[in-house]
Amino acid sequence: MKKDEIISMLQQQVAFLQDQLKEANDRLGEANRKVDELLRKVSSLEELLVLKKAEERKQHNIIKGLTKIQQNKSEKQAPQVVSDTEVISKAEPKPREKTNYGARRKEHYEVEVEEEDVDPADPRFDELKARLIDTHDVVRYILIPMRFIKRVYHVHVYTQDGAVMEGKAPVTPLLGSNYDGSFIAGIAQLRYIYSMPVERIVKYFTENGFDMDKGTAHGLLRKTEAIFENLYKAMGAAVKEDDYLAGDETYHSVLVGQKNKDGKGIKKGYVWSVTAVHMGLVYYFYDDGSRSEKVILNYIGDYGGTFQSDGFSPYRKMAKRLTRLACLQHVKRKFLDCEGDEGAQGIVGLINELYQEEHRYEIGKNGWTAEKNLRWRKKYAPVILKKIRTKLDRMAADPEMLPKSDRHTAVHYMLNEWDAIENIFTRGDYHLDNNTVERLNRYISLSRRNSLFFGSHKGAQRAAMFYSLACSCRLNKVNFFEYISDVINRTALMQPNTDIKEYRALLPDQWKAL
């Protein structure tokens, strides 16, 4: 075949292929136009569907609201009850068994009950002629503000057979005072449980019918402190009977004689707290507001049990003579401060895993014991702790980590606490954090916000004593008012030289009302 013929044949084939390609492009263009049209139709249908669902939801809500109105008894007229004598009275609807939100109404069996018969007020009503056809109960809860009672005892003196006999009125806990222990308990409850300043307490008393001076209220608390001196010492000794303690410190402003750099006589004083985790006793103590390590170390002394705390240096020094546990929440907060740091958030996630595994079971429920919990901890904790330590070591070795950065602070805080963290998982009943103590310290935080300051170092010391009793009552589910009302009268009768050990039975974990 000649060269010209071959070229001509190839040109024909190329022309044919070009025609085929053009037809394919035309068909593809048409197909794309159809797809675009279908997409527009689908989008339009979706918009219509959304509008239709919104309208249906609106109509459903309207119907639901109308149904509630129709079914709600409070929207209906009370039925008329007609007696045989054609006496008409509008009967009040019977109380509903459930509230508007479906919750069953509380019966409040704990309150005092008064009963009263209610007859029709219609002037035509005649009890002798009328015949009772129905009775229903209507409940009203009535609040009578704080009641003050002036109880006068008429003490009679007799002579009989040459002897003089005289009645005895109840003894007051405070010498030369007319105030009963319950009155002092009421002031203490408002001051140290509900964080009301004394000024506000006396105003509240005045508004409810009892005129009292602020100085009198302060005096009652001050004199009560003297009565509770041995009880408070017993609390400090009893707390260390527990083999598992948790501690912390918090601050409160205190009025002092010496003025600070701002020209104000106010000092930032620290209150220390140690909680006996198993016994539920709390010991608050105050040493002129000092945060020096000697305050806590002197109290702990030769205690040889377990102590849980944050990483404050005085607590770390305890590790030389006792088992120390860290607080995982304090560790976690350090890493939460590293916003936008992926590595730090990874540590947070692993700490959360420890909590998630720990919360699968709860000691005391469904037969779960501390021994079982320890076996469970030995199973899940080592794996997670190993992951955390690997990440920590890698982050600590990073040459680009700035020495004073949040990341540097968090990493080295956790590394310094590592032994104390591992100690948590050596027993089944140790807590993962120190939240129990921190929750109790909120009572002082509320006082700090409401009262602004303690009036003196002595006032702060007095508050530490009352908070010790109040928070111990809370942990043992003891009513603080009832406790103080009883214990103040009993301790007032005890001789000053009574052995401190005899006060042990009066602490909230063992107290029983007479």
Grade residue 505 by pLDDT with cuts at 50, 70 and 90. Answer: very high
Identify the band that residue 513 occupies on the pLDDT scale cut at 50, 70 and 90.
confident
Q: Which two tokens stand for residue 272?
A: 């220390």
Q: What is the pLDDT of residue 145?
A: 78
Of 8-17, 129-138, 155-164, 246-255, give the lowest mean pLDDT range. Answer: 8-17
Using alpha carbons, list the distances in angstroms from residue 443 to 10, 110, 268, 420, 439: 98, 27, 17, 28, 8
Tokens encoding 489: 């009268």
Q: What average pLDDT does the structure give for the chain?
A: 87
Average of per-residue pLDDT across 79-84: 44
Residue 81: pLDDT above 80?
A: no
Number of C-beta neighbours around residue 490 at 10 A: 18
The string of pLDDT tens digits covering residues 29-60 is 777 777 777 777 766 776 666 666 666 666 65
pLDDT of 381 strictly over 70:
yes
Instruction: Give the β-pairing of 323-325 and 157-160.
Output: unpaired
Q: Which residues contact 87 (CB under 8 A, 6 or more apart)?
A: 120, 122, 124, 125, 130
CA distance 413 to 334: 8
Per-residue pLDDT for 167 more than 80?
yes
- The secondary structure element, H or E, covering residue 351 is helix 342-358
pLDDT at position 11: 75
Provide the pLDDT for residue 63: 65
Q: pLDDT class for 93, splitting at 50, 70, 90?
A: low
CA distance 185 to 260: 36
Predicted pLDDT of residue 96: 55
Higher pLDDT, 328 or 112: 328
Q: What residues does 164 pair with on adjacent strands? A: 159
pLDDT in tens, 121-163: 889 988 888 888 889 888 888 888 788 999 999 999 999 888 9
Distance, CA of 500 to CA of 221 (rounded, Å): 22
Range 288-314 average pLDDT: 96
In the numeric block, the tokens 């109790």 are attached to: 440
pLDDT on residue 141:
86
* Neighbour-count burial for 191-211, b at 16+ CB within 10 Å, e otherwise: bbbebbbbeebbeebeeeeee
DSSP label at 174? Answer: S
Half-sphere exposure of 62 (CA within 13 A, CB side): 6
CB 326 within 8 A of CB 420: yes
Report the range of poorest mean pLDDT among 94-98, 164-168, 177-181, 436-440.
94-98
Q: What are phi and psi of 19, to 5 degrees?
A: -65, -40
Do residues 511 and 283 touch, judged by C-beta distance below 8 A? no
State the amino acid at position 455 in one-letter form: G
Contact status, residue 428 vs residue 363, Cβ threshold 8 Å: yes
Query: For the chain, how far is it from start to end, CA to CA, in angstroms?
Result: 130
0.85 exceeded by the pTM? no
229: amino acid identity, one letter: E
The pLDDT of 340-347, averaged and rounded, is: 92
pLDDT at 358 > cutoff 90: yes
The pLDDT assigned to 12 comes to: 77
374-378: average pLDDT: 97
Q: What is the pLDDT, as a whole number, of residue 52?
A: 67
Per-residue model confidence (pLDDT) at position 50: 61
Share of the chain above pLDDT 70, in %: 88
Closest CA relative to residue 334, chosen from 389, 413, 424:
413
Residue 274 bridge partners (DSSP): 247, 283
To the nearest 10°, report the CA torsion of 40, 42, 47, 48: 120
Q: Is the pLDDT of residue 355 over 70?
A: yes
Instruction: Say yes or no to pLDDT of 88 above 60.
Output: no
Q: Taking 70 as the threshold, does the pLDDT of residue 64 lie above it?
A: no
Which phi and psi (to 5°) does residue 401 adopt? -75, 120
Ranges assigned E (strand) in 213-322? 244-255, 266-276, 281-286, 306-308
pLDDT bin (cut points 50, 70, 90) of residue 26 is: confident
pLDDT in tens, 196-222: 999 999 999 999 999 999 999 999 999
How far, in Å, CA of 491 to CA of 223, rounded?
A: 13
pLDDT > 90: what percent of the chain? 62
What is d(CA 461, CA 442) in angstroms, rounded to the nearest whole number? 17
Residue with tokens 């305890």: 318
pLDDT value at 82 more than 50: no
The predicted structure's pLDDT at residue 69: 54
| pLDDT, mean of residues 254-274 | 87
Span 237-246, average pLDDT:
97
Task: Give me the helix-helix angle, 181-192 and 457-475, nearest 10°.
Answer: 90
pLDDT at position 274: 98
Q: Which helix (H) or strand (E) holds 472?
A: helix 457-475
Mean pLDDT confidence for 371-392: 97
